[in-house]
Copies of this chain bind each other. A is one copy, B any other.
C-alpha cells in the first residue's frame, strides 16, 4: 500500500514579499518523511480569504492530510480560522474551551483578555484543539486539516502533537551516492536504473563546489533491501 500523502499550506504575505524566509516547510518535510507520510505538495498564499479558502478546499480533497501554518494570532490579518470554517461551511465563533484556556493564561500574566485576544478563541464547531505549550493560543484540527501557528517554535510543538495521532506508512529509507562526474555522464545509466526499479524514487542533485563537480544521487524507497541493491548496482557502474 502506498504511504499516505499530505499537503501543506503556508499562509502569509511576509513570505511572499521576501521579508521572511519560511522555516516551517523544511521542518514539516523532514518530520513527515520520518513518519512515513509523503509530502506531495506545498502552497504559499497571501492573507486573502479567497486564496486561502480555495487552497484549503483543493488540498484537503486531494490529500489524506493538510497542515496549515500561520494566520491564527490576534491581529486583523489573522483570518485562517474563519477561512477554514468557510471552506467547509462550518459555523465558527468564540468557543468556551478555547476562551477558558486564554482567560487562565492572561489572568496569570496580568494581561487583559480583550477583543483582539479573544479572536484567538474563534474555533469552528466540531474542531479538536491542538495544544500550544509555548503561548497557549491553541491550533485546531477540523476534518483532515490541522491548523497551526506560524511562529516556528509553536509550529514545531504542534506538529509533534499532531504527528503522534497520525498513522504513517513505512518510513522512507534514503541513501546517497556522491559521484564526481558530470550529470550528463551519469544520466544514461541512472535512467536505466530508474526503469529497473520503478518502486524507488531516484533523484540526481548536481553540485559544483571547491573546484569539484558532480551529482549526489539519492535513492529513496520503503523497501530498505531494494534501496541497497540499487545503490550497489550504481556503485559498481561508477566506482568511487
Tell me whether A44 and B47 are in contact (CB under 8 A).
no
Cα(A15)–Cα(B39), bound, Å: 10
Contacts A75-B187, A184-B74 known; A41 to B33 CB distance under 8 Å?
A: no
Tell me whether A184 and B114 are in contact (CB under 8 A).
yes
Residues of B within 8 A of A13 (CB): 201, 203, 220
Q: Is A185 an interface residue (CB 8 A)?
A: yes
> Which residue of chain B is the closest to A220 with respect to CB atoms?
B17
Question: Which among A43, A187, A206 has the greatest number of chain B C-beta atoms within 10 A?
Answer: A187
> Which residue of chain B is the closest to A28 with respect to CB atoms?
B18
Partner of A116, one of B20, B28, B174, B187: B187
Q: Is A182 an interface residue (CB 8 A)?
A: yes
Q: Is A132 an interface residue (CB 8 A)?
A: no
For A81-102 the 0/1 string (1 means CB < 8 A from B) is 0000000000000000000000
Tell me whether A74 and B16 are in contact (CB under 8 A).
no
Cα(A38)–Cα(B187), bound, Å: 37
Q: A191 → chain B, closest Cβ, in Å?
A: 4
Interface contacts beyond A19-B174, A19-B205: sample of 17 additional A-B pairs, CB < 8 Å, sorted by A: A16-B41, A17-B29, A17-B172, A18-B29, A18-B33, A40-B46, A41-B45, A41-B51, A42-B42, A75-B204, A77-B203, A112-B184, A114-B184, A115-B188, A116-B183, A117-B184, A117-B187
> Which residue of chain B is the closest to A41 with respect to CB atoms?
B45
Main secondary structure on chain A at its contact with chain B?
mixed
Q: Return the 5 tightest CB-CB contacts between A and B, nearest first.
A: A116-B187, A18-B29, A18-B30, A117-B184, A76-B191
Cα(A119)–Cα(B187), bound, Å: 10
Partner of A43, one of B27, B28, B41, B220: B41
Tell me whether B14 and A183 are in contact (CB under 8 A).
no
Tell me whether A184 and B116 are in contact (CB under 8 A).
yes
Contacts A20-B205, A45-B41, A114-B184 known; A75 to B190 CB distance under 8 Å?
A: yes
Cα(A195)–Cα(B73), bound, Å: 18
Partner of A41, one of B19, B44, B116, B190: B44
> Which residue of chain B is the closest to A192 with respect to CB atoms?
B76
> Which residue of chain B is the closest to A46 with respect to CB atoms?
B40
Q: Is A231 an interface residue (CB 8 A)?
A: no
Q: Is A111 an interface residue (CB 8 A)?
A: yes
